[in-house]
Amino acid sequence: MTVLSERITQSAFDGTRLRVVLLLDLHEGAQERFLEAYEEMHRQVAAVPGHIVDQLCQSIENPSQWLITSEWESAPPFLAWVNSEEHVRMVQPLHDCVSNTRSLRYGVVRETGTPSKSRAKSGAGELRVAPRRGDGIVRHALTFTVRPGTEEKVRKILSDYAAPAARVDATTRLRRTSLFLHGNRVVRAVEVEGDLLNALRHVSQQPEVRAVEEAVNPYLEMDRDLSDPQSARTFFTRAALPMVHHLGVPGDSRPDVTRHGLCYDAREGRGMALAQFLAGQDEAAADDPSSHVVRSTIYQRGDLVVRVLDVTGDLRARPELALGLVDGPRKGAVLGRLLRDGDAPASDKDIARLLDRCLMTPVTDRTAPES
């Protein structure tokens, strides 16, 4: 793939302790309801595996601004909780009190002082030995399902619209948007330079995008009303498909690189394990100089795992690497145990067949021109 020193890896699976920061602006007069909702949420989240401690803070300058910080042993238990239906139900009373929220997630790199008793007791994750090396790009995906039988109508709607302006503000711009269909599931992967939330808000406010979203609404399996902030928040919370692993080389823009998407249906409760397995396989494949995989990004929510690949030449030239297998039959057996259908690819023909089943249909892939 490339020289090892050039490679960047961004991963939720490195065992680093996690700090989550939630910034909130409250509605006027909602403080008492907010505190009651927080107490109930705090009581429930304290029992979630991997949670260490959280704090509720109020601004000393603006009493309507609040901050919730929480600490977790590592990213996977937090992601499993925050992407669950239990979390959606748990935070609903909290969101009824707020006009605006912003969630930030950080791996802990350095700290001073003595670890708290709760942290020491929990066996919290490690501090990062060295800061991560990034490429200045934030990656995120959204997914939702449409009513079976409407896929072709939805595909046409999603592929037939003018792209919004790439420049959001002085520091933020859209870099790339890739849309795929897999059965009746839509996956939209976005790459943003700068602030992801600002970019998503910018896109959602563009007339051409709003028209497309309204046109898709009648075909959705999950109702939404994007003009209602609460309905929109609930929809996008459930549609979020967070990135859990990215591997690539900054600035690698060879002309023969093509993008592909794969969708894996994990066995119940095994989505995180499947994503971690695929991440490890991609890391191992990156050490193979003959690998045609230039970049790999893995997104996961519950039992759904999506892998977006940039490859040189023919995707099927190395079907095992395209599927996410380095060591053929042996790792194929592991993959089979993680997939819902339990179908372990034991031969080249099995690998090719499973690759075809996982491949998503591309709808659009738009890269913004360099400014």
**DSSP output for 315-340:** GGGSHHHHHT-SSHHHHHHHHHHHBT
Write the CB contacts of 2 (distance below 8 Å, at least 6 apart in sequence).
249, 252, 286, 294
Q: What ranges make up the beta strands (E) of 95-251?
A: 98-107, 137-145, 173-182, 185-193, 240-248
Nearest to 180 by CA among 307, 295, 294: 307
Spatial contact of 331 and 325, defined as CB atoms under 8 Å apart: yes
Question: Residue 256: exposed, middle, or buried by beta-carbon count in 10 A (0-12, 13-18, 19+)?
Answer: exposed
What residues have CB less than 8 Å from 280, skipping those under 6 apart?
Answer: none
d(CA 325, CA 330): 9
Q: Are 174 and 136 in contact (CB under 8 A)?
A: no
Contacts of 346 (CB under 8 A, 6+ apart): 329, 332, 333
Sign of the dihedral defined by the CA atoms of residues 213, 215, 221, 225, in that order = positive
Write down all domains in the chain, each with its CATH number in brackets.
18-122 (3.30.70.100), 138-241 (3.30.70.100), 244-363 (3.30.70)
* Residue 300: per-residue pLDDT: 97
CB 246 within 8 A of CB 10: yes
pLDDT attached to residue 112 = 82
Instruction: Determine the 3-state secondary structure of 152 from DSSP.
Output: helix
pLDDT on residue 124: 57
**What is residue 290's DSSP assignment?**
T
91 phi/psi in degrees, rounded to 5: -90, -5
Q: Given this model, what pLDDT does residue 131 score?
A: 72
The model's pTM is: 0.91
**Total residue length of the chain:** 371
Residue 247 to residue 238: CA distance in whole angstroms: 26
Strand partners, 240: 142
Sign of CA dihedral 218, 220, 221, 227: negative
Q: How far is CA 219 from CA 70, 144, 210, 353, in A?
A: 38, 11, 15, 30
In tens digits, the chain (371 residues) has pLDDT values of: 444 447 788 999 989 999 999 999 999 999 999 999 999 999 999 999 999 999 999 999 999 999 999 999 999 999 999 999 888 888 888 888 998 888 999 999 888 876 655 555 555 566 766 677 778 899 999 999 999 999 999 999 999 877 888 888 889 999 999 999 999 999 999 999 998 888 888 888 888 888 998 999 999 998 888 778 777 788 888 899 999 999 987 666 667 899 999 999 999 999 999 999 999 999 999 888 889 999 999 999 999 999 999 999 999 999 999 999 997 678 899 999 999 988 789 889 999 999 999 999 999 999 887 65
For residues 243 and 307, give the distance between their C-alpha atoms in angstroms, rounded to a whole number: 9
Q: Which helix (H) or strand (E) holds 260?
A: strand 257-265
pLDDT at 117: 53
pLDDT value of residue 27? 94
Q: Which residue has the tokens 């490859």?
A: 311
